[in-house]
Amino acid sequence: MVLATNLGFPRIGLKRELKSALEAYWSGKQTVEQLQQTAKELRARHWRLQKDAGLDHIPSNDFSFYDHVLDTILLTGAVPAAYGKNTDLHTYFSMARGHQTTCCGGHVHAASDKPTDVPALEMTKWFDTNYHYIVPVFDANQSFRLASTKPIDEFLEAKALGITTRPVILGPVSFLSLGKRRDHGSTLELLPQLLPVYTQLLEKLAAAGAEWVQIDEPVLVLDKNLATQEALRQAYLALSRASARPKILLATYFGSLYPNASVAYNLPVDALHIDLVRAPEQLDSALEAISDKSILSLGVIDGRNIWRTDLDKAQKLLQHAISELGPDRVWVGPSCSLLHSPIDLAAETKLDDELKSWLAFATQKLGEIATLTKALRGEKGETEKAIAAARTAQEARRASKRIHNQAIKQRVKSITPDQTERRSTYANRREQQAKRLDLPGLPTTTIGSFPQTPEVRVARAEWRSGKKSTAEYEKFLEDQTKQVIRWQEEIGLDVLVHGEFERNDMVEYFGEQLEGFTFTSNGWVQSYGSRCVKPPVIFGDVARKGPMTVRWSKFAQSLTPQPVKGMLTGPVTILQWSFVRDDQPRSETCRQIALAIRDEVVDLETAGIAAIQIDEPAIREGLPLVEAARPDYLKWAVECFRISAAGVRDETQIHTHMCYSEFNDIITAIAAMDADVISIETARSQMELLDAFVNFKYPNEIGPGVYDIHSPRVPTTEEMKKLIQLAAKLLPVEHIWVNPDCGLKTRAWPETKTALINLVAAAKELRAQYNLSEGKAKLVTAKAA
C-alpha cells in the first residue's frame, strides 16, 4: 500500500513560541525547565498535527533548539576543547552564540565554573537555502562518542503519546563533509572513528522500538567526488551490519542524484528518497536503477516554496512509479523537510481570497501529501473534490490579470549592454571617489541597521494599527535617526548610516513598495537559532511604485557633513529571500527587480547621497549545487547587480555586502559585479574567507568583518586589531575598510556601543602604525552629471 510520509516539520511554532522561549532563556527570564517544556509542547503539537493529517510516517528528532548540525556535533561528542567537556545546553549555546562571562558594563551572564570567554563557531548557509548551520570543526585526531540521547529521547516522547515516529539524523558523510579540520586535512578521513557512534545510535533506536530511521545525506546531490562516493559505500556497508537496527530511509533533496546515482542506488538501505520538485527528470532512471527490494520515496510536494501543488501532474508521476514498482514500494512525500515553509495558511486572515487560494504552507502540504496518497489507494469522494479544487486554483492563477504587466515585460526586453556598465574603470572611479569623500586610511563604517529596540517595534506596530498618526511616527523616526547620526559622529565612525529604524525587514520593506508583491502575517521560517524571517511573496511582475528610501537617506545626510550611505537590498537577495513565482524563469523576475533598484539608486544619487550600498548576501546562496548549472546563474545574477548599480556617476561609491558564505567558487563573478567596496563576514572564520580574494588578487576595496554580530559577545579592541592585521598581511592596507560582519538590527544597544567604540579605536591605532592618512570624512560637493 502507498504510504504518506514527511521528512521534517518547522520547529519554531505558529506564533514563534520557540523564538520567545529561547530569547527569554538567554536573557535569564526563563529557566531551562521552562524552555524544555515549551519545546516538549511544540513537538507534541506538531506530531499530532501530522498524525491527524493522515501521515503514515512522522519524523522525530527534526526539532532543534538552534540547528540540527549543531545537534549532531553534540550528539557525536565533537565539541571543540575550548567549550569544555560538558554536553549540556550551556555548551550547546556557547558553540552557537559564543559566551562571555562579563560584558557590557560587567553584567554577569553565566556562572563562573563555565568557559569564561569563547567565540561562536563559524556559521554558513545550508546548501542553497537561507537557513544557516553551525560549521563543525574537527581535529586531525578527533575522537567521537555517543554523547547525547536526543534522538532516542524524542522517539520515546512521541511513543508515550501513542505516536510511532521515524527518527531523523544527519548522515555521517554529510556531517563530515559540512565541517572542516583545523589542519585543513580531509574530514572524510575521520569516518572510521565516527561510524561506531552511528552504529551504536542505530542499535539503541532499535532497542527503543524504532522500526525506521531517516538518514539525511544531501551531499548525494552535489557534483561527483570519488572520496565522497567511497565514504558513502563504506558508511552504509558498516551501518547495514549493525547487530540490530531500524530499517534505513536514505533521504536526499535539493537536486538530482545524477552525479552520484551509481552509488546511491547500490547502497544497502531499505528506502531511498528523491526530490522530484527540483529534479523530476530523475524519476525514470530511479525506477530503472533502484534495487528490487527497496522502497522509493518520491518528493512531489515543494518543501521550499508556498505555491499550491499541481496535484494532477504529481499524481501522474506517482502513478508511473506505481506501474513500475507496485504500490507497496512507493511513498509520497515533500521534496525536502518542511523546515523551509511557513506553518499554516489558515493563520493568514488578511490575505485576499484569490491569492490565498494559490498558496499552501506546511500544514496544507501535509494535506496535499495525504490527498495524493488516498487517491493512489483508490479513495474517492472527498479526495476527488480536493484534487478538483487544486485544479481550479491552478487554472485561476494562470488566468489572473494580477500577474502580468506588459509594460514591465517590455522594459526588461529593452535592457541594453550599456545599462550594465559603469562609465569608467574602477581605478578612475576610485580617484574621483577619494576626492569627494576624503576618507582616512582604514575607513570605518557599519553595514546598515542599528538595534531595533522594543521602543522602535512598538512605535511601528502602533502606526500600522492606527494608534499613532503618520506625522507622529515620522517624528519618532526622525528623532531616532538624529540620535544615531550624532552618536556615530561622537565615536568617530567615518561613513555613517541612518540606522534603518523605518524598516521591518531588509526584503519585506522593499517588497511593500514594489508591485507584484504580497505579504503574510504569520509566514515565518527559521533562518538560524531564534532568528526568523517572513519572506514576501512575489506573485506577479515587479516594478517600483515610487522612491522607497530617498526620504530617510536625504534626511540623515542633511544632519551631518560626513557621508551617509544609502542602504538598499540587491535584486538577487530580494529574489532569493522571497517566495518566488514559479510560472516564469527566476532570471526574468530578477531583472524586473534590478530595474526597480536601479531607479532607486539614481534617485539617491540625485538627492546627494555619495555612497550607496546594495546588499547582496544571497548571491552565493543562489548558486546551483552542481557545476554545470552555475555559469548561467552567475551570468544573470551579476548582470542584475550591474543593472541596479550602473546608472550612477563615477564619483558615487557603490558598496555591496555578502555574509556567511564561501567565496572561492564565485570570486570571478564577485569581481565582475564591479562594486567599488565589498564588505564580507570574516570574524568567525578568523579572516579565512579572505583567501579567495587574496588568491584572485581582487582589485577593489574590501571591508572584512571584525565584529561577529550574530553573537552577543563583545570583541575587544585588541581582538579587532589582530583581525585587521591579519587582513593587512593578505591585502593592500589602503584597500581595507573596517566594519562589523553584518547589520546590527538584532543586537542590543549596550553591546553594540561597546563593540563599535572598540572597532573605531582599533582602526585609529592601526592608522598610526601603518602611517595612513587621516582624512576628514567630509563630503565635497559632487559635480553635475
Would you please indicate which residues are annotated as catalytic (active-site) residues? 710
CA gap 713, 754 in Å, rounded? 10
Q: From 670, 760, 783, 759, select the one nearest 709 (Cα to Cα).
A: 759
Q: From 365, 249, 250, 252, select the one nearest 302 (Cα to Cα).
A: 365
3-state class (DSSP) for residue 739: strand
Q: Helices marked H in 215-271 — which ranges?
A: 226-240, 261-264
Q: Is 704 left (phi over 0), alpha (psi -120 to 50) or beta?
A: beta
Q: From 239, 123, 135, 238, select the one nearest 179 (Cα to Cα).
A: 135
Is 613 within 8 Å of 564 (Cβ atoms)? no
CA gap 296, 506 in Å, rounded? 41
CA gap 723, 704 in Å, rounded? 9
3-state class (DSSP) for residue 238: helix
Cα–Cα distances (Å) from 115 to 25, 66, 79, 141, in that order, read 18, 20, 13, 23
For the record, the C-alpha cell of 660 comes out as 556567511
CA gap 427, 735 in Å, rounded? 12
Pairing between β-strand 137-138 and β-strand 180-181 as defined by DSSP bridges: parallel
For the record, the C-alpha cell of 135 comes out as 560549521
Is 227 within 8 Å of 273 (Cβ atoms)? no
3-state class (DSSP) for residue 682: coil
H/E/C letters for each residue in 467-501? Answer: CCCHHHHHHHHHHHHHHHHHHHHHHCCCEECCECC
Phi then psi dihedrals of residue 100, to 5 deg: -140, 115
CA gap 213, 646 in Å, rounded? 52
**What Rg, from alpha-carbon coordinates, does the chain have?**
26
- E strand or H helix at 134, and its extent? strand 132-134
CA gap 342, 303 in Å, rounded? 10
For residue 419, the Cα-to-chain-centroid distance in whole angstroms is 30
- Give the side-chain half-sphere CA count within 13 A for 383: 15
Query: How long, in residues, is the chain?
Result: 785
Is 681 within 8 Å of 702 (Cβ atoms)? no
CA gap 315, 330 in Å, rounded? 12
- The DSSP annotation for 375-386 comes to HHTT--THHHHH
At 515, the amino acid letter reads E
- E strand or H helix at 133, and its extent? strand 132-134
CA gap 361, 365 in Å, rounded? 6
CA gap 273, 276 in Å, rounded? 9
Is 730 within 8 Å of 744 (Cβ atoms)? no
Q: From 259, 176, 265, select the one nearest 221 (Cα to Cα).
A: 259
At 503, the amino acid letter reads R
- The DSSP annotation for 166-204 comes to EEEEE-HHHHHHTSEETT---GGGGHHHHHHHHHHHHHH
CA gap 99, 112 in Å, rounded? 12
What angle separates helix 406-413 from helix 586-606, to the nearest 10 degrees? 80
